Structure 1
Amino acid sequence: MSDNDSPAELSRDDWRVILRRTVHEYRINQVYDLAAALTYYAVLAVFPALLATLATVGIFGSAEAGAENALEVIGDLGGESVAEALREPLEQLVNASNAALAFITGLVGVVWAASSFVGAFGRGMNRIYGVGEGRPFWEMRPTMIGVSALIVVLGAIVAFALIVSGPVADSLARVIGIDEGVVLWWDLAKLPVLVGVAILVIAVLYWAGPNVKRRNFRWLSVGAVGALLAWIVTTALFWLYVFGFGGYQRTFGVVGGIIAFLLWVWLSNLAMMFGAVLDTEVERARQLRAGILAEEHVQLPLRDDRLIEKNREQRARDIRDSAAMRADTAVDGLARPAETALPPDE
């Protein structure tokens, strides 16, 4: 199979099978639970990321204006009640005396939380591929931290694109010495930048997360685009429900806004996992078209199998030790076949 295989080479019938099996595998692999775990780690990274971003804005420009922009974005996503609840903590962050220390603290916190997210994402993708995690902790953790650092950098671009606008953009332009026309073009170019960064982040997670070696890195994979489209549609429908019909703000106030935000993060992770399943099924279709037996499992080499072998050996020892606890266990540690119990004579 050539590395230049394109999804365009797949027929309409192929895509029908791909989409049908994507839906089935999505359910069979219990992606809902995987997305819930990812939501936990994502929420852990929110405040460190916000701290690092505001500290950076405070170093180069107006932290107060940056906080107001951040609250405006939060208000758009989670409602005004959530923004008001976060106003005081954000003001305390902005008024911190040492912006450099706040930046370092936030950066360390967000990298740690992001590495946990990447690790959980990789375990979820291992389930989708039907493989175990074979990379030892001492080797996998630095890799996850490196991937997390890259994602943090890309995420910082997204954060700046959302926060650095209006007065903040004007302040930074004056400090750096950028012409006002560049600021205008930046405001116009933010959307394609955000889309490109989002697709790249998803593609990096799909490539580096699982314990399988993909043929090559595709930053514009079918799954990444599918995940982004699913996220856009899901986000639009969800917030239409929340603000149009749900009445979360009127009924629950701040708590309702927080619940809505957590649900949105969960739905976002569902969209990313949908793209992961879709990518797997596209790869399966390519292999099947090339004559590879991939009906049951996608045939991709493992990155590492040392931990898998270690766990298999440990499990075998545990089984032998457990068997020794039974009264009918043989001297050599192996269990004798249990005799079939006959019903009593009537």
Structure 2
Amino acid sequence: MNKTKIYKLYKKIQKDQVNAISGELTYFLILSIFPFLIFFLNILNYTGIPHEILISELIITLPEQTQQLLNNIIKEISHNSSGTLLSISFILTLWTGSIGITAMIRAINKAYNIIENRSYIKIKLISLIFTIFLALLIIIVLTMLVFGQIIGNKIFVYFGVSKFFKDFWEIIRKVIPLIAMILTFAMLYKIAPAQQKNLKIKLKQTIPGAVFTTIGWIISSHIFSLYINNYANYSTMYGSLGGIIILLIWLYITSMMIIIGAEINGININPI
């Protein structure tokens, strides 16, 4: 990205009030995260995969206080959830869990300078489909991270594969989640905005923002986690609310990364 585009991006971030929109998106994410976890955990019930193993991988980048908070909530959900809960509250839980995706759609429209022209039902259907896709993708990616080595070793022993291929597989199974995240954000940036007659968004146009969001989110999450775990003690200031405050800040950082990624695509897709 050259200096001119960096300056345009800076001005566009200011114009679109990314800080304020990130705060709004954080609010909707906090509303949707727990219904999404209920939906996600109940899907896991049908896979036979232990909750604890996958969840520990899912929240590993978070600060320790927030990990403890989420683990307690997840344990509570796991004890009280069942096949009956899934069948009775499936639509409601999925509907509520898609609130965050709906908020992302609005933020991406603004980043692309697009006026929404779809009905509420159509937007919600897109949100629901993407929420289901996201839950399934997380299961697949985490399964690859957790059980990939075991699966790979069994296959390689069966076929008598050399050590070179085993080492290569170790790299591949860690690269796959990264590529999956980039493709997921790229699809979100392509599908989420309202369709315009004079604007055709191609998948390759959304890759730059998706790469930024993925890499930026991973780096910022690790830096934030290191800072909280080693230098900041929110429990002293906020007491038992410390874990919640940290979760809110992390979700705000996540929101910033997602919206800035959309803004990066916006200056290429629909420049002003």
Q: CA deviation at 1:26?
A: 0.7
Pick the aligned partner of 2:94 from 111, 133, 137: 111
Provide the C-alpha distance between the structure 2 equivalents of 1:118 and 1:71, rounded to a whole number of angstroms: 23
Q: Following superposition of structure 1 onto structure 2, how do residues 232-247 of structure 1 map, counting pairs within 5 Å?
A: 232-247=218-233
User: Residue in 1 aligned with 2:79?
Assistant: 95
User: Residue in 2 aligned with 1:258?
Assistant: 244
Kept in 2: contact 1:223–1:277 (CA 8 A): yes
Provide the C-alpha distance between the structure 2 equivalents of 1:261 and 1:280, rounded to a whole number of angstroms: 28
Provide the C-alpha distance between the structure 2 equivalents of 1:107 and 1:279, rounded to a whole number of angstroms: 34
3-state DSSP of counterpart to 1:246: coil
Matched, 1:30 2:14: no
Pick the aligned partner of 1:44 from 16, 25, 31: 31
Kept in 2: contact 1:231–1:268 (CA 8 A): yes
Q: TM-score, normalised by structure 2?
A: 0.77
Provide the C-alpha distance between the structure 2 equivalents of 1:34 and 1:197, rounded to a whole number of angstroms: 26
Kept in 2: contact 1:119–1:144 (CA 8 A): yes
1:205-239, Cα deviation, whole Å (9 max, x unpaired): 21122224434223861111122222223223222
1:84-139, Cα deviation, whole Å (9 max, x unpaired): 445554334333473x2344467545532353223222222222233321122344
What letter is aligned with 2:255? N
Q: How many residue pairs were aligned?
A: 260
Aligned alpha-carbon RMSD (Å):
3.5
What letter is aligned with 1:248? Y
Matched, 1:141 2:128: no
Query: Residues 114 and 217 (structure 1 numbering): CA distance in 2 closer, same or farther, change over 3 Å?
Result: farther
What letter is aligned with 2:26? T
User: Residue in 1 aligned with 2:215?
Assistant: 229
Rg larger for: 1
What letter is aligned with 2:75? E
Q: Following superposition of structure 1 onto structure 2, how do residues 272-291 of structure 1 map, counting pairs within 5 Å?
A: 272-283=258-269
Provide the C-alpha distance between the structure 1 equivalents of 2:139 and 2:36, rounded to a whole number of angstroms: 8
Kept in 2: contact 1:223–1:275 (CA 8 A): yes
Provide the C-alpha distance between the structure 2 equivalents of 1:49 and 1:36, rounded to a whole number of angstroms: 20
Q: CA deviation at 1:21?
A: 0.8
Percent identity of paired positions between Structure 1 and Structure 2: 21
Query: Residues 215 and 95 (structure 1 numbering): CA distance in 2 closer, same or farther, change over 3 Å?
Result: closer
Kept in 2: contact 1:34–1:124 (CA 8 A): yes
Kept in 2: contact 1:53–1:160 (CA 8 A): no
1:296-345, Cα deviation, whole Å (9 max, x unpaired): x3xxxxxxxxxxxxxxxxxxxxxxxxxxxxxxxxxxxxxxxxxxxxxxxx
Q: Following superposition of structure 1 onto structure 2, how do residues 1-346 of structure 1 map, counting pairs within 5 Å?
A: 15-61=2-48, 63=50, 66-67=51-52, 70=55, 74=59, 77-79=62-64, 81-96=65-80, 98=82, 100-104=83-87, 108-109=91-92, 111-158=94-141, 160=143, 164=146, 180=154, 189-211=172-194, 212=196, 213-218=199-204, 221-283=207-269, 297=272
1:127-172, Cα deviation, whole Å (9 max, x unpaired): 223332112234433333333333333234345456x559xx98xx
Kept in 2: contact 1:227–1:274 (CA 8 A): yes
Kept in 1: contact 2:189–2:206 (CA 8 A): no
Provide the C-alpha distance between the structure 2 equivalents of 1:97 and 1:277, rounded to a whole number of angstroms: 39
User: Residue in 1 aligned with 2:160?
Assistant: none
Query: Residues 108 and 161 (structure 1 numbering): CA distance in 2 closer, same or farther, change over 3 Å?
Result: farther
Kept in 2: contact 1:223–1:278 (CA 8 A): yes
Kept in 2: contact 1:49–1:110 (CA 8 A): yes
1:181-226, Cα deviation, whole Å (9 max, x unpaired): 58x9987654322212211221122112222443422386111112
What letter is aligned with 1:33? A
Q: CA deviation at 1:272?
A: 1.1
In structure 2, list runs of 5 or more residues that go unmatched: 157-165
Kept in 2: contact 1:38–1:121 (CA 8 A): yes
Query: Residues 157 and 62 (structure 1 numbering): CA distance in 2 closer, same or farther, change over 3 Å?
Result: closer
Query: Residues 253 and 143 (structure 1 numbering): CA distance in 2 closer, same or farther, change over 3 Å?
Result: same
In structure 1, list runs of 5 or more residues that go unmatched: 1-13, 285-293, 298-346
Provide the C-alpha distance between the structure 2 equivalents of 1:259 and 1:23, rounded to a whole number of angstroms: 28
Provide the C-alpha distance between the structure 1 equivalents of 2:212 and 2:70, rounded to a whole number of angstroms: 33
Kept in 2: contact 1:125–1:210 (CA 8 A): yes
Kept in 1: contact 2:190–2:201 (CA 8 A): no
